[in-house]
Amino acid sequence: QVQLVESGGGSVQVGGSLRLSCAASGRTSRSYVMGWFRQAPGPEREFLAAINWSTARIYYADSVKGRFTISRDNAKNTVFLQMSSLKPEDTAVYYCAADTRGRSGYTSVPSGYDYWGQGTQVTVSS
């Protein structure tokens, strides 16, 4: 089992920044892929970014490339999502997720991730 706990969400004005954290505990491994997703009202969970813990390769969705940055702290088993130039359409619940299947790249499909955090709300207002 892997436990994921997100933090850092909140309310921010248009153009502002936030940094989300995702602390992993339990059966963690350097072979995992850690991803960030978000979900606005509706059924779809949108992929934002992923980092392959073993290769250190990073992947972004086109919608956030250049505004969001994913990073990690190996010693703390924590992944971050730095968000800047925030827009009202970035308002959503943000989730981190762990893909424990040891893939060499990444997946942007939510069903490819085995563990999820509880989510943290980000609200961007004008």
- The angle at the Cα of 30, spanning 27 to 31, to the nearest 5 degrees, equals 95
Gap between the Cα atoms of 69 and 61, Å rounded: 11
Structure-block tokens of residue 88:
């009202």
Structure-block tokens of residue 42:
């509706």
Question: In this model, does residue 52 exceed pLDDT 80?
Answer: yes
Gap between the Cα atoms of 78 and 7, Å rounded: 11
For the chain, the average pLDDT equals: 94
* Higher pLDDT among residues 1 and 67, named by residue: 67
Structure-block tokens of residue 89:
């359409």
Question: In this model, does residue 57 exceed pLDDT 80?
Answer: yes
